[in-house]
Amino acid sequence: MQVQLVDLVKDFGQTVAVDHVNLTIKDGALTGLLGPSGCGKSTTLYMISGLEQPTSGKILFDGEDVTEVPAEERGIGLVFQNYALYPHMTVQQNIMFPLVNAKVKKEEALARCMEMAKLVKVDDLLKRKPSQLSGGQQQRVAIARALVKQPKVLLLDEPLSNLDARLRLEMREEIRRIQKETGVTTIFVTHDQEEAMSITDEIVLMKKGVIQQQCFPQRMYLEPANQFVAGFLGNPPMNFVEVQAEQGMIRLNEAQYPVQEDISGTVLAGIRPESFTLGEELTVLVESVEIRGRDQLITFTLNATPVHALIDSVHLVKAGAPLSLAIKGKRIYLFDKESGRRLNKEFKYE
């Protein structure tokens, strides 16, 4: 089901949590709602679910206005960070609960419970209580319970945040698989850019209640709309260095790089750490080297700003020595210093 937010606002008095959001969530897709803590992700999700009423604006499900429809009549499934399973009930009772509540016949409820338990792979744990399950297993049960009523939209609010690193990786793949198998329109809230990039069809990146960019993950990474998006995606993050753009040129240390002629004055040049490679374009003095395995993280100064580069570990790089570098594809992003707006045109995909 397609979900549309039209000029949606949530004002908590002191804070405008969601600030005139216009957004279309694609039917059948896994959409990541991404942004730093406090940017309005949960508030947006709760308005879609009906748990929170908007201050103004509309929510449409497949074109139908549901803004005034109560949560329980919207056909949504919700999963929270803290599982929120009923501790005194078994796994089976937890999964069946929404069906029992809706007075679905026992036989059918059992059959659907089994189907969901198989889907999320907890069918061998049905008699256990939540306290006898690992965090990942509890979250699987929570997902089964959210899906058992065959919701039109599945809403996940930071579902992996309470899991340890290894389980988080495993469960994000599982969420991807379950979403693919069911085809249910899913909105996945996270503050973790890597999580969002790895499993979603599309990312919506928010900052202070305002949508910054909406597109598929690779595109957001390669063509950020502004400095905030550029800095939010990627680890280690993009480097930003002040440069003077003049007559279609900028200078990085002693090296010159061509830029669009229509860009001039003091601007920010953004270069991803992995865009650096050994080459003959610019010389830097290596300040530190940190081996990370496949890559080494090298620190040096560009235009008086500390910069990180990721260079293949096979090259021997020494701290204190000069190093000749190049920028792959001359991929330098340019941003307005004040607004952070992207100034240069998109690069061609190679």
Q: Which chain residues interact with Mg ion by CB under 5 A?
A: 42
* Closest CB to Mg ion among residues 42, 296: 42
Contact between 79 and 155 (Cβ < 8 Å): yes
Asked if 42 touches ligand ADP (CB under 6 A), the answer is yes
Residue 25 CB, nearest approach to ligand ADP (Å): 17
Look up residue 297 and give its two tokens: 């993280």
Contact between 94 and 128 (Cβ < 8 Å): no
Residue 209 CB, nearest approach to ligand ADP (Å): 7
Residue 57 CB, nearest approach to Mg ion (Å): 19
Residue 17 CB, nearest approach to Mg ion (Å): 10
- Report the partner that residue 12 touches, choosing among ligand ADP, Mg ion, none (CB closer than 5 to 8 A by kind): ligand ADP
Asked if 17 touches ligand ADP (CB under 6 A), the answer is yes
Q: Which of 3, 31, 34, 40 binds ligand ADP (CB under 6 A)?
A: 40
Q: In whole angstroms, what separates CA 127 from the centre of its chain? A: 35
Spell out the alpha helix ranges (H) of the chain: 41-49, 91-101, 106-119, 135-147, 165-182, 193-199, 217-222, 227-232
Rounded CA separation 11/277 (Å): 47
- Report the partner that residue 193 touches, choosing among Mg ion, ligand ADP, none (CB closer than 5 to 8 A by kind): none
Look up residue 248 and give its two tokens: 């279609």
Asked if 38 touches ligand ADP (CB under 6 A), the answer is yes
- Report the partner that residue 43 touches, choosing among ligand ADP, Mg ion, none (CB closer than 5 to 8 A by kind): ligand ADP
Q: Which of 31, 43, 139, 214 binds ligand ADP (CB under 6 A)?
A: 43
| Bond prior to 236 in cis (omega within 30° of 0) | yes
Residue 194 CB, nearest approach to ligand ADP (Å): 17
* Closest CB to Mg ion among residues 35, 151: 35
Residues 6 or more apart in contact with residue 239 via CB below 8 angstroms:
270, 271, 272, 273, 302, 305, 307, 308
Q: Which of 29, 41, 61, 184 binds ligand ADP (CB under 6 A)?
A: 41
* Closest CB to ligand ADP among residues 37, 131: 37
Asked if 193 touches ligand ADP (CB under 6 A), the answer is no
Q: Of 32-40, 101-109, 115-123, 253-261, which part binds ligand ADP (CB under 6 A)?
A: 32-40
Residue 196 CB, nearest approach to ligand ADP (Å): 13
Rounded CA separation 185/204 (Å): 15
Residue length of the chain: 350
Closest of 198, 191, 193, 163 to residue 177, by C-alpha = 198
Contact between 70 and 52 (Cβ < 8 Å): no
Contact residues toward ligand ADP (CB under 6 A) are: 12, 15, 17, 35, 37-43
